[in-house]
Chains A and B, each alone.
Chain A
Amino acid sequence: MDLTGYTLHELRQLLLRRETSSVEVTRAFLDRIAATDEGLNLFITVSEQEALQAAELADLRLSQADAAASPVLTGIPLALKDIFVTAGVRTTCASKILENFIPPYDGTAVSKVKEAGAVLLGKLNMDEFAMGSSNENSAFGPARNPWNRDYVTGGSSGGSAACVAARQAVASLGTDTGGSIRQPASHCGVVGLKPTYGRVSRYGVIAYASSLDQVGPLTRDVEDCALLLGVVAGHDPADSTSIHRDVPDYCATLRDGVAGMRLGLPREYFIDGLDPEVKQTVEKAIAVYKDLGAEIVEVSLPHTQYAVACYYLIATAEASSNLARYDGVRFGLRRDEGQGLIEMYRQSRAAGFGDEVKRRIMLGTYALSSGYYDAYYLKAQKVRTLIRQDFLEAFGKVDAILTPVAPTPAFRIDEKTADPLQMYLSDIFTIPVNLAGTCAMSIPCGVSTAGLPIGLQLIGSPFGEETILRAAYSFEQATDWHRQQAKL
């Protein structure tokens, strides 16, 4: 088998048995990137030299007698969304304003995967500053879906999902503010998990909406997802919103099955706007769970319909504040036409930000501005409380919740770019989870007649990652959707 076809846990065994080397595997992925990325546009930066150096070091470690005691990612090639700052490797956030930014330090998630022995292949395409649902808002051009290049990858972690589907990396890390891991995972047919807010450090992750942003893995199967989550999770003194709480061994409970597990179906998620094929596919997945012995219970999340409106006030308000740092002074693009400091700020920001980023900064600035704060931002924060209460009440009755990830499979490139509001509505099933701060994942559960993947969303209670991973693993063992691959 081609070395790029293995999962992380399979590759780990091959490396420990010395049936291959990290250098060999890393070269196979670099070759595959070189052969396929011109048509897909998933990498913004390929760090070939750094990757090969790390692979040589990993092989040294793997050649020692106690190789089995080496950290779990030793020699495994991963790729990162270009939102993670990486010491010495350009980090753009897919924005012109950071086109030449070379970070002086590694973010915590990056340090953790490096310490676990990972080989980093490079930095992946995304929607600029993680603002988008299609990966079309990138200063480096849209990412293309490996299942069909005329279609979007989803976003904002489009490159992260698609590179796993295209076998350009074993696994990747992304971030999810309103669905940015789960929706592209669904559109590209891979596994993606957004952890509970505070589970993973945000230090060294370029901020979009700080009360919603969370780092998570995108992988080929559920076991890989559990492994990678275990590496990046945990408290970090550098992020005071990360939680002091032990990190369980997420792999230990994967095989415990779903017999007797109570799974909720929220009636508000099975609405008229749902694509019939997505609905049928998700219903078939629910039937699989019934066969596996889970108990299916109807639940209600009554404030679901308000989530998108709530999100686009809170996220844009936080973004307008976070993105104030791009002013042409300490880093990033500067446009100075000799008209003074304020004009330098205005020109630099106008030249550096793309349309969607400008739109969200404008909306957020408006929502926070004097006279409108109570009507928009404060109101949205109160509605956020209601949405969170919906989930906490539901989790009093069920162990996890099953829903579609997105109302449709991937759409065509350019199909939704003319109408921002329509684009925002494609996140209707993922946004509530971020507002509630809980965890959720997307797993492949079918392929549309047009040949595009469809995902199933499993939502867990706060810090209920073990439960959804276990439920996801059971589904995966009973089906073979995760083995279906994009034909490039």
Chain B
Amino acid sequence: MKITRQEVEAVARLARLALDESELDALTGQMDAILGYVEQLNELNTDGILPTAHAVPVENAFRVDVARQGIGIDKALQNAPETGMDSFRVPKVIE
């Protein structure tokens, strides 16, 4: 086994996904198969090979430091599930 059911549950917690029992069962088998498949990368010796994060080299993109118009509060909030006092409203964080 590349991954256990217990590890899958831990990953679901990290990923903030409330998965039910049948989803956790299915994912354990599927992730195990996929992780088994990706194991083949270890056939390759990559000592001294630099990782590629972007295929086209990118450098810091600087621009002149001038203020620009934002989209404004109304538009920023227009899709929010719940708002109040010109803000996004969320469930209580600290009891």
Tell me the A residues contacting B by CB distance below 8 Å: 100-102, 104-105, 196-198, 211, 237, 240-241, 243, 303, 305-306, 308-310, 312-313, 320, 324, 327-334, 336, 338, 340-347, 349-350, 353, 355, 358-359, 361-363, 365-366, 369, 376, 378-386, 388, 420-421, 424, 435-438, 462
Contact = CB atoms under 8 A, between A and B. Distances in A.
B34 A421 contact: yes
B18 A346 contact: yes
Contacts of B80: 329-331
Nearest to B61: A240
A386 B91 contact: no
A341 B37 contact: no
Interface residues of B, number: 51
Interface of B: 3, 7-8, 11-12, 14-19, 23, 27, 30-31, 33-35, 37-44, 46, 49-56, 58, 61, 63, 71, 75-76, 78-82, 88, 90-93
Contact of A361 (B3, B15, B37, B78): B15
Contacts of B40: 305-306, 309
B46 to A, nearest CB: 4
15 contacts: A104-B71, A240-B58, A241-B54, A241-B58, A243-B56, A312-B34, A330-B80, A334-B81, A358-B19, A358-B23, A359-B27, A362-B15, A366-B31, A386-B44, A386-B49
Contact of A365 (B15, B42, B56, B78): B15
Given A380-B41, A420-B30, A437 B17 contact: no
Contacts of B75: 104-105
Nearest to A350: B18
A376 B3 CA distance: 13
Given A330-B79, A341-B91, A438-B55, 7 more contacts: A104-B79, A341-B92, A350-B18, A379-B42, A381-B52, A383-B44, A462-B56
Contacts of A359: 27, 30-31
A211 B54 contact: yes
Contact of B78 (A104, A328, A343, A421): A104
Nearest to B47: A382
A384 B51 contact: yes
A362 B11 contact: yes
Contact of B41 (A330, A350, A379, A420): A379
Tell me which of B33, B46, B56 has the highest count of chain A C-beta atoms within 10 A of its own C-beta: B56
Contact of B54 (A100, A330, A437): A437
Tell me which of B41, B53, B55 has the highest count of chain A C-beta atoms within 10 A of its own C-beta: B55
A378 B38 CA distance: 13
Contacts of B34: 312, 363, 420-421, 424
Given A241-B56, A340-B91, A436-B55, A385 B50 contact: yes
Nearest to A344: B91
5 A-B pairs with the lowest CB-CB distances in the bound complex, closest first: A437-B55, A381-B51, A240-B61, A331-B79, A334-B81
A206 B94 CA distance: 32
A349 B14 contact: no
